[in-house]
Amino acid sequence: MRRSEKKRIAFFDFACCEGCQLAVLELEETLLDLLSHTDIAAWREVMTGDEPPYDVAFCEGSICTRADEERLLRVRRDAKILVALGTCAAIGCHNNLRNRIDTREALEKVYGKAARGMDVTEARPVSAVVDTDYRILGCPVSLPEFIAVFKAILTDQPYRLPNEPVCVECKLTDTLCVYEKGRVCLGPLTRCGCGAICTRFGDVCHGCRGLVDEANLAAMPRVFSREHLHAIMGAVASGQPLDEERIRQMIALYNNYPELKIEDRGDA
């Protein structure tokens, strides 16, 4: 493969916890290796200054205000390649939950009087506002995928999001399925690429990487209504019955930007 000239890269954060950038910084040595092929033009979390234009702009978070939107459009104009970094930016995450309630009502509840004058819009992932060239999923972002995308950009290659459910990664790592422990898991519907990090360490899959292509949503309520499973889970979830509505809510936590069709969630 061809090695490119040094690329000018930048990181931008919008409405989010900045956990994805933090996760990226945890790459330490590997990050230094990757950065050795680049010059940093902007990265508020690690340095001051911002010198456009950029070859690559990593954008994290959701777009929640007019100001966010303008800033993102500006970054898009100044960047050859724009990467949606993490679930908030790529497909919509917790931020978007507030779209289900009246924005004014939510603002007043949280900010009281200070809410007046806030120029708030519907919460949207970056990818619903501008064209993205690459997307990296995960809450926080999956580091192996970040590395893979970074290398793809450095070598001018496309990156294809893995299109398999998390179950594949459980199996490849010989992890006991949480269903065998009587717990519920969104892994069969969720796009892998995380290395099954949650299930390997004793949790269930919460679906933070969004739906896999052609996820069989209709199959899941049937699974959950299975008598015996229901009985076990009823006990585990301390009496809270899992009905179809709750399953849909669980799934919606990370797949809640309905305007973004499943086909749009694949690789750019």
Partner 1 sequence: MTATHLISEDAFASLLDRLIQDMPVMGPVERRDQPGFYRFDRLEKTADLQVAYTTTTIPPKKFFFPPVDEMFTFDQSGPLHIEEQAEGSPFVLVGVHPCDLAAIEALDAAYAFPPADMRWIRRRKQAVIIGMECRPDDYCFCTSLGTADARAPADLFLTPLDEGYLAEVHSPMGSVLLSDTAARQATKNDRKAAEQVLQRKIEAVTARLTTSVSQLADILEYGGLTAVWRETAERCYSCGSCNITCPTCFCFSIEDTLDADLSGGQRQRSWDACQLLDFARVAGGHNFRGDRWQRVRHRWHRKFLYLYRRFGRPYCTGCGRCSRACTADINIVDITNRLVAHFQQEHKP
Residue 263's binding partner out of partner 1, ligand SF4, none, with CB under 5 to 8 Å set by partner kind: none
Q: Map residues 154-183 to x or -, x wherever contact with ligand SF4 holds by CB under 6 A.
A: ------------xx--x------xxx----
Residue 16's binding partner out of partner 1, ligand SF4, none, with CB under 5 to 8 Å set by partner kind: none
The Cα-based distances of 160 to 47, 122, 133, 191, 268 in angstroms read 31, 29, 11, 12, 8
Q: Map residues 105-144 to x or -, x wherever contact with partner 1 holds by CB under 8 A.
A: ----------------------------------------
Where do we find the tokens 């009281």? 112
For residue 97, the number of C-alpha atoms closer than 13 Å in the C-beta half-sphere is: 10
Q: Which amino acid is at 119?
A: D
CB of residue 71 to partner 1, shortest distance in Å: 30
Q: Is residue 220 close enough to count as binding ligand SF4 by CB under 6 A?
A: no
CB of residue 162 to ligand SF4, shortest distance in Å: 13
Task: Compute how many other C-beta atoms are within 10 angstroms of the C-beta atom of residue 70.
Answer: 11
Give the footprint of ligand SF4 on residues 185-214 (CB under 6 A). Answer: 185, 187-188, 196, 199, 205
Residue 226's binding partner out of partner 1, ligand SF4, none, with CB under 5 to 8 Å set by partner kind: partner 1
CB of residue 261 to ligand SF4, shortest distance in Å: 24
Give the footprint of partner 1 on residues 8-67 (CB under 8 A). Answer: 30, 33-34, 36-37
Q: Is residue 224 close enough to count as binding ligand SF4 by CB under 6 A?
A: no
> Which residue, 152 or 177, has its beta carbon nearer to ligand SF4?
177
Give the footprint of partner 1 on residues 161-200 (CB under 8 A). Answer: 163-165, 167-168, 170-177, 179-181, 185, 187-189
CB of residue 42 to ligand SF4, shortest distance in Å: 37
Task: Compute how many other C-beta atoms are within 10 angstroms of the C-beta atom of residue 92.
Answer: 29
Contacting residues toward partner 1, per CB under 8 A = 1, 3, 30, 33-34, 36-37, 147-148, 151, 154-155, 163-165, 167-168, 170-177, 179-181, 185, 187-189, 202, 212-216, 218-219, 222-223, 226
Please report, as ranges, the residues that interact with ligand SF4 according to CB under 6 A. 166-167, 170, 177-179, 185, 187-188, 196, 199, 205
